[in-house]
Amino acid sequence: MHHFTKRLTFASVGWLLAASALAQEYTDRVRLVRGSAAGEVTATTPLEVTLEEQSGRSKSIAVPEIRSIVFDGEPPELTQARLHARNGGYQTALARLQEIDAAKLDRDLVRQDVEYFTAFCNAKLALGGKGEIVEAGRALNDFVRRHAQSYHYLEAVELVGDLLMASGKYAAAEERYAELAKTPWPEYKTRAGMLMGRSLQAQDKHAEAIAEFDRALAGAADTDSAGGATLGKAVSLAATGKIDEAVRAIEQVILDTDPEQKDLQARSYLALGDCYERAGRTKDALLAYLQVDVLYSTVPDAHAEALAHLAPLWEAVGQEGRAREARQTLQERYAGSRWAK
């Protein structure tokens, strides 16, 4: 009887362990804006991710709260690629992703991440002049179409809008940006307004752009988007002759922005350079664009734009060698960019 009880106990423990393993098959790690969470990602939508915690309780995590998700059992190459992609190392990320054997991936969420970050990196490279805009747009649009419930959906939609805008298809871009405004979060609505304003600005519709930026700022609840909207408004103010007001606004954005927010800082110095060029302050413009060249060359599109401005400015101050160097760098690094044409 004693041996039977022992065997029964061992069998019961084994059954419980097996049941536990079935109940919690994966332990995914979710890095949040504040803190982290662990459990199995059981569902995703464009707005939230459902996580079943080890306690068995399910919780919903809103997309804006998520920095990244590392899926249990994913290839280490995907983990590395995701990190490189989020830090602007798009070519390195693509190299890691190409090492993954897709046939060996047995989880749909992992396959989706491989597909998404491949399309994401190619789109970012294309925007920086290192790839084909149309091809990148086709791949990213295909991801959006086939994975409409992905938690990457909104970011992908915004990036599709950026590619459309780079192609001069402003109305189509604005349709994509408008999707962000339909979300329940003020920061996304602010971002949508900022992006819509940039599209109008690119069409020289500066009065309309200023109105759009003002609407974005009226509901601003996010520093990044508020800074971007303030900056966008300043660029349009400069284009309508209000240069001093624009310079003051841009300088404030630079002061208020963390130096590690490279995209916004780079855009700020580009805007400052534009103001100084309009005012005929050649040396000040040169110094503003040099900030981008020296400090923010990891922001491809901004760096390409800075180089395009630096070449004629170097010539204007008699630095022919520096002008040639700027043009050469532009052609070598950003041959596909609109700034190299």
pLDDT tens sequence across 202-211: 999 999 999 9
Domain boundaries, the chain: 275-341
d(CA 168, CA 224): 25
Q: How confident is the model over 304-337, as pLDDT tens digits?
A: 999 999 999 999 999 999 999 999 999 999 988 8
pLDDT band at 20 (very low <50, low <70, confident <90, very high): very low
Helix (H, G, I), strand (E, B) or coil at 240: coil
pTM of the model: 0.85
pLDDT band at 340 (very low <50, low <70, confident <90, very high): confident
pLDDT band at 222 (very low <50, low <70, confident <90, very high): low
Amino acid 129 reads: G
169: pLDDT strictly greater than 60: yes
Question: Contact at 8 Å (CB) between 245 and 237?
Answer: yes
Mode of pairing for the β-strands spanning 58-62 and 36-44: unpaired
Asked which of 67-71, 114-118, 268-272, 297-301 is least confident by mean pLDDT, the reply is 297-301
21: pLDDT strictly greater than 60: no
Question: Contact at 8 Å (CB) between 104 and 113?
Answer: no
181: pLDDT strictly greater than 70: yes
pLDDT of residue 19: 42
Phi-psi region of 257 (alpha: psi -120 to 50; beta: other; left: phi over 0): beta
pLDDT of residue 223: 63
% of the chain exceeding 90 in pLDDT: 78
